[in-house]
Amino acid sequence: MTPYEITTDRGRLDLGAVHAFLASSYWSPGIPRATFERAAANSLCFGVLADDRTIGFARVITDRATFGYLADVYILEAHRGKGLARRLMAEIRAHPDLQGLRRMLLVTRDAHDLYRKYGFGPLGTPERMMECHDPDVYRREPGTRADGQQQT
């Protein structure tokens, strides 16, 4: 049986493997490597390791005081069905830097049942929430805004 470990030590994670997965995922297709690395550097990252290989990942964008946004959660298909997503979520929810947050958000297409077990639910007041969503950002030339104009 493969021993699994969850770590927040970014130096132990294979960020190249994480990037490769995310760049082909439905939620961040084509994300540039530099963009992902900047995102990881500014997040609290959790890696799931099997024999020191990164087989799962999640990150929380947070101020470590009031707010967190859970993103980029995955377990490689070959390792699914072993309770690793539940274990990863338990570690995230128990992490000392994430205690006392007033709000934690996430977006998911298909894992509602998993996240519900860790306190997530539908927005209580969706009419208050707004977003700037730019799904094509990774397909445009760098420095080009969503309206096609060059950024200054």
Task: Give pLDDT tens digits along the chain (152 positions).
Answer: 568 999 999 999 999 999 999 999 999 999 999 999 999 999 999 999 999 999 999 999 999 999 999 999 999 999 999 999 999 999 999 999 999 999 999 999 999 999 999 999 999 999 999 999 888 888 876 666 666 666 66
92 within a domain of the structure (yes/no): yes
Domain that holds residue 115: 4-122
64 within a domain of the structure (yes/no): yes
Residue 13: per-residue pLDDT:
98
38 within a domain of the structure (yes/no): yes
Tokens 């470590």 correspond to what residue?
Answer: 64
141 within a domain of the structure (yes/no): no
9 within a domain of the structure (yes/no): yes
49: part of which helix (H) or strand (E)? strand 44-50
- What CATH number is associated with residue 110? 3.40.630.30
> HEC states along 50-117?
ECCEEEEEEEEEECCCCEEEEEEEEECHHHCCCCHHHHHHHHHHHCHHHCCCCEEEECCCCCHHHHHC
Residue 137: per-residue pLDDT:
87
Residue 144: per-residue pLDDT:
60
Looking at the structure of the chain, the number of domains it has is 1
55 within a domain of the structure (yes/no): yes
Burial tier of 125 (Cβ tally within 10 Å: 0-12, 13-18, 19+)? exposed
50 within a domain of the structure (yes/no): yes
30 within a domain of the structure (yes/no): yes
